[in-house]
Amino acid sequence: MSDLRTTLVQCDLRWEDPEANCRMLEAELDGIDGAQTDLIVLPEMFSTGFTMNSREMAEPMEESRAVAWVQQQAIGRGCVVTGSVAVVEGEHYFNRLIWARPDGSCVHYDKRHLFRMAGEHERYSMGHERVIVTLKGFRILLSVCYDLRFPVWLRQQPAADEHFEYDALLCVANWPAPRRHPWRILLQARAIENLCPVIGVNRVGEDANGMAYAGDSMLVDFKGEAVIDEPRDQPFIKTGVLSRAELDAFRDKFPAWRDADHFNVADGVGF
């Protein structure tokens, strides 16, 4: 089994300025490509910040400057690049996580749980499908920010003939500093309960609404222990390695999955 080299990009964001954010990120990522990493992870709404101006900022997938930029970066760097952007489809607006591959193709996940305390549920539509992608032998469940608080939505749901549905969980975020403690604990909890590594990327700085972000981007292993956890409140780009062999060995040695409760999720409701 291959290792998965994962690059966390913790950065400040320019408010509602896709061109400036893409220029900044491209400069910060200079020299990082498939020779150093397999996956580059950007924060939630990396091109605008956590804007509720969906009608003004969202663009159709086929016309989105941010989506095109992510695809270009994946092709040019020879690795997967992922992060979320505001997208419009007909009358619906989505906080959409883009997973762009180096061959130019991409898949997406629409954020399921919308942060009502900021009015996100009034400005965006919720997603209805869980999305799992595959990279270097790892099956990765995609999620965005507030999803992290909902363990049923993120719980392993393996088929009858499988032990695990996915091998890593990825969460991109604009998670405010006043709630940094839950962010850190929930990343570790999701790893422990699902017996899988968790990749969590958050932003730093302050947005136009005066909301501060403390970063705390983390790469945690299957036991919830940190692989990457520094510096907490400053921009950084750092690559960590996830070992599939170590993951499989731990799952065999500590088979808590054998005692898991059986259930399924239908439209976000556990049964």
Q: Would you tell me how many other CB atoms lie within 10 Å of the CB of residue 133?
A: 21
CA–CA separation, 80 and 168 (whole Å) = 15
Residue 109 in tokens? 């996940």
Catalytic-labelled residue, pool 22, 79, 145, 196? 145
Among candidate residues 11, 16, 111, 171, the one labeled active-site is: 111
Tell me how far apart the alpha carbons of residues 13 and 66 are, in angstroms, rounded to a whole number.
14
Q: Is 111 a catalytic residue?
A: yes
Identity of the amino acid at 86: A
Q: Tell me which DSSP letter residue 154 carries.
A: H
Q: Is 193 a catalytic residue?
A: no
Catalytically annotated residue among 11, 16, 22, 44: 44
44 catalytic? Reply is: yes
User: Is residue 147 within 8 Å of residue 112, measured between CB atoms?
Assistant: yes
How large is the angle between the packed helices 65-77 and 18-28, nearest 10 degrees? 10
Residues identified as active-site:
44, 111, 145
